[in-house]
């Protein structure tokens, strides 16, 4: 295991394209570009820009971290497919990190993490909160009681931006990673299919 592993992490589970490059415990580069579509075309270019700005290349990476949701159905598939493809091509581990873990990163004590699910609903999971131990869909104005702050939509901001948190979590997990990242879906995709079909996720 390198003394200062180089981790590339990214997320397209919401209306953004976010990426971060971590060396050891230091974020070298980080970027978030707001966009509701076009993540598939932008993601790898953004990652390459971060690497070049640090004098690095994809071949220097020790692991890939990716946000697996919950969130936008197509966006999750884009980033998970990219992470699995990069990891396979580079021969490095890939680690899937949920948005709940990214939101909770750096928090001390119990909390609940909320991700926008639209239509007045949120995806919620509690940390050290038995009533919210499993991630689930809730009405935003009718959450079960929980201890500690609410992090994310409707609550306080997380300690770190999503891609930076994913990078730090990946650094903690990648040496023990065995399973390839897989999307975390908490409800079916909308009935209306996207005009451009998302990439397929192989088992």
Label residue 194 by pLDDT band (50, 70, 90): very low
Question: Of all helices (H) and strands (E), which one includes residue 118?
Answer: strand 111-118
Indicate the DSSP class of residue 93: -
Q: Does residue 5 register a pLDDT over 80?
A: yes
Does pTM surpass 0.75?
yes
Distance CA 35, CA 48 (A): 18
Outline where the chain has alpha helix (H): 39-53, 73-90, 99-104, 162-173
Stretch among 4-13, 95-104, 124-133 having the lowest mean pLDDT: 124-133
For range 3-20, the mean pLDDT? 96
pLDDT of residue 42: 97
């Amino acid at each position: 295991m390198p003394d200062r592993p180089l981790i590339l992490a990214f997320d397209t589970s919401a209306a953004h394209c976010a990426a971060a490059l971590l060396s050891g415990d230091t974020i070298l580069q980080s970027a978030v570009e707001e966009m509701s579509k076009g993540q598939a075309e932008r993601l790898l270019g953004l990652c390459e820009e971060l690497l070049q700005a640090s004098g690095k290349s994809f071949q220097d990476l020790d692991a890939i971290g990716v946000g697996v949701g919950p969130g936008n159905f197509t966006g999750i598939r884009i980033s998970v497919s990219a992470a699995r493809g990069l990891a396979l091509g580079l021969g490095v581990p890939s680690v899937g990190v949920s948005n709940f873990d990214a939101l909770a990163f750096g928090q001390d004590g119990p909390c609940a993490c909320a991700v926008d699910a639209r239509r007045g609903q949120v995806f919620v999971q509690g940390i050290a909160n038995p009533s919210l131990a499993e991630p689930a869909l809730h009405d935003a104005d009718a959450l079960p009681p929980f201890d500690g702050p609410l992090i994310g939509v409707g609550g306080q901001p997380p300690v770190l931006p999503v891609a930076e948190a994913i990078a730090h979590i990946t650094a903690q997990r990648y040496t023990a990673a065995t399973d390839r990242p897989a999307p975390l879906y908490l409800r079916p995709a909308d009935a209306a299919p996207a005009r451009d079909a998302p990439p397929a996720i192989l088992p």
